[in-house]
Structure 1
Amino acid sequence: MLGCLTALLDLLYFLVAGTALGPFLLWPRTRPDALGLLVSGARRLLTLERIRRSVFFGDRFPARYTVADQKVLRHLAVHCRTGLLCAFVTGLLGFGVVLAGLLVTGMARGSLGWDELLTQVVLGGVLLFLDVQGLRSLAALDARTARECFGPSEQELLRRRIDELAASRAAVVRAVDAERRRIERDLHDGVQQRLVALAMLLGRARRGRDPERTDALLLQAHEESQQVLTELREVAWRIYPSALDSLGLKEALGGVAGRCGIPLRIRFEDGPPLPRLVETAAYFVVSEAVTNAAKHSSATAVDVQVARTGASLAVRIEDNGRGGADPAGSGLTGLRSRVAALDGVLRVDSPPGGPTTITAELPCA
């Protein structure tokens, strides 16, 4: 019923505003300003429609959805027709109620025959059915036009969310597979080769007859074993740093700074405890970004900022390298997938000539 009243209000607005602004809408020079005034008033009426749908029907629409000007005018025009038609159907229903009252009165007085009474009941039942179906269809049309105007429906939002989760899951699977191949390559090309060289040195030392030569080989084998341990430790840190479990994100990032080959400054703002998944994602974002800066950007300094902003953790990495980082590269794509798995956002700004800035926002809720 309120929709019928607002439809009448919309019709009066179009009649009054259209009459007043009609000449200005026809002239091309004044058309944009006149159309802006028309839409400005229409948006106020649209706010009433949004409140009506939210209060009486419990509709939930996206808060930040901006309605286009043409969609505003089209929605009010459609609402005028459906609201006035709903008022007409409601009027017919009221008229039927009056006739039913007269029929009951005639029955009480005995002025109606059974044949006429049966005819009136059948005809009244059919008209009542058509009225109720008409009101139901108009209510469904009003709900559908409201969803089309104010934003996607909950079902569409749910469908989009399912698509996002499916894409995020596939990206995580690809990232994990790429990480596994990288670890296998590091072990095969690095640690395994060094272990083979170590075994050969020890074998030569066992077969040696010259004590001085044997001591030299053992010294070389000892140095090689130290290098193997260092490289194995690097691989383990790239897989998962144990400092995250024992010391937390701040100390784990300190380990990144200690292993970085270029000056690295970390500014970490302490705050409430972070979820373990958020700490892990933040660590790998910083570690991968710093590694890329040291290997590919010719940077001489890297600045890292980690701060809790409301319900999310903001991570910002900036280097003074030559820039030109490819956001679609395998490394950054893996980071984006890792961040997206937590409903986070990863942004890469790397113009040619630098600097390169990588920003990640990780929800902590």
Structure 2
Amino acid sequence: MKKALRRWLRMATGLAMGAATVLPDLLVLYAALLPRRRGDPPAVRLAGWERARVTRLLGDVPAATAPPEPRAALAYLAARLPVGLLAGLVLLAALVGAAYASTLLWLWFWADHFWANVFSGVGGLFLLFLAAYAVQAVAALEAALVRRFLGPTRQEALERRIEELAESRAGVVAAVHEERRRIERDLHDGVQQRLVALGMLLGRARRRGDTGELLAQAHQQARQALAELREVAWRVYPTVLDEAGLRAALEAVAERSPLPVRLDYRLAAEPDRPVAAVAYFVVSEAVTNAVKHSGAAAVAVRLADEGPALTVRVTDDGRGGADPAGGGLLGLARRAAALDGRLHVASPAGGPTVITAELPCA
């Protein structure tokens, strides 16, 4: 609730600033129509300021590296004039609605006009409700205008996309290399040591002709080596993901975890295999980190479709302080980036730790 209120206030502030620039827009446009003033630099500077305002306060607008072209700047200023006026009217309606709604607080002081105040207050609340939604709509319209007239050119967009692809490819290569090193460590420090101990026990039993205690120890070592080998294979890639789907794989993670894991699975359909694999590894790594490092008592996992993205959120009630640049989390961020997704880690001191992955699924 607080987050939504802060976002609304930020948008309202941005619209108020935009409404205040309607008069400067008019003056700049008028100056541009005068002889020898076409493409006047003030239009470029004002359009650049408007783009910064919208990007910072109103919406997710791709940043452009170059100043807007004079023609595009003038076209944008002309197009946003009615939007700026509309923003001013919407904010005025919100203020009027708030003023009328406040009469509900003074009903008992104006008993002679009790019902009139009730009707005024209810009407004010309704007007405030409509204005609150209108603020979001006008903010979206402002952002759309900036994207249309002042967004990056096709060349800039292609260059940025090439850079993103190059970075994600390098990240995937690094993540694969790190994963191979981790598997090698697991095999060397776990399974290999078990097998060496197993061989030594069997050799001693053979030399002594002992079929009792040494063979029992060898049998125990063989069982532990097999369990560790299965664990390594599971961490490389769980076959249940292919055989039974993402939900079954995540339920297996919850069952294998020593901490209680609450799974809230709200996907309407099985995601594509690459997306399902990344979602699985995000949950698996996050749960493993919570068990090893956080001191948490419980973990909550939630998967849901939010628009065109699959959102994975893992929350633990541990001590916090997780490092997003750590090997495991950095590898997850690279996996997500390879699918044009994003990974966000919020882990303040004292907790809780919230790991959120947004993976495109459409």
Which category of TM-score, normalised to the shorter sequence, fits these structures?
A: 0.5 to 0.7
**Match for residue 319 of structure 1?**
316
Q: Are the structure 2 counterparts of residues 35 and 294 from structure 1 closer, same or farther at C-alpha, using a change threshold of 3 Å? A: same
Find the residue that maps to 1:296 and give its secondary structure.
helix
Asked if 1:361 corresponds to 2:358, the answer is yes
**What amino acid sits opposite 1:282 in the alignment?**
A
Report the Cα distance in structure 2 between the residues aligned to 1:263 and 1:224, rounded to whole angstroms.
Answer: 29
Identity %: 57
Gaps of at least 5 residues in structure 2 are 1-16, 30-42, 48-59, 79-145
Task: Tell whether the 8 Å contact from 1:42 to 1:72 is kept in structure 2 after alignment.
Answer: no
Structure 2 residue aligned with 1:200: 200
Task: Give the paired residue count.
Answer: 252
Superposed displacement of residue 271, structure 1: 1.2
Equivalent runs, 1:273-284 vs 2, <5 Å: 273-284=270-281
Alpha carbons of structure 1 residues 152 and 292: separation in structure 2 relative to 1, 3 Å:
same
The answer on whether the counterparts of 1:169 and 1:341 sit within 8 Å (CA) in structure 2 is: yes
Give the gaps of 5 or more residues in structure 1: 1-30, 50-61, 81-145
Match for residue 140 of structure 2? none
Corresponding position: 1:37 with 2:23: yes
Specify which of 314, 325, 330 is matched with residue 327 of structure 2.
330
The answer to whether the 8 A contact 1:42-1:73 is kept is no
Larger Rg: 1
- CA separation of 1:151 and 1:225: change in aligned 2, threshold 3 A: same
Over the aligned positions, Cα root-mean-square deviation in angstroms equals 3.7
**Who is 1:352 aligned against?**
349
- What is the rounded CA distance, in whole Å, between the counterparts of 1:280 and 1:77 in structure 2? 46
Contact kept in structure 2, 1:72 and 1:149, CA below 8 Å: no
Distance 2:262 2:200 in 1: 42
Deviation at 1:150, TM superposition (A): 0.9
**One-letter amino acid of the counterpart of residue 362, structure 1:** L
Match of 1:223 in 2: 220
Mapping 1:79-228, distance limit 5 Å:
150-210=150-210, 214-228=211-225
CA contact (8 A) 1:321 1:356 kept: yes
CA distance in 1, matches of 2:177, 2:361: 26
Deviation at 1:218, TM superposition (A): 1.0
Q: Is the 8 A contact 2:339 2:360 kept in 1?
A: yes
Of the three residues 260, 281, 284, the one matched with 1:287 is 284
In 2, Cα distance between the equivalents of 1:328 and 1:183?
20
Q: In structure 1, what is the Cα distance between the partners aligned to 2:292 and 2:69?
A: 51
Per-residue deviation at 1:269? 1.6
Question: What's 1:93 paired with?
Answer: none
Contact 2:298/2:316, CA 8 A, preserved across alignment: yes
TM-score, length-scaled by structure 1: 0.62
Equivalence for 1:7: none
1:300-320 CA distances to partner (integer Å, 9 max, x unpaired)?
Answer: 100000112232211000000
* Residues 33/170 of structure 1: CA separation in 2 closer, same or farther (3 Å cut): closer
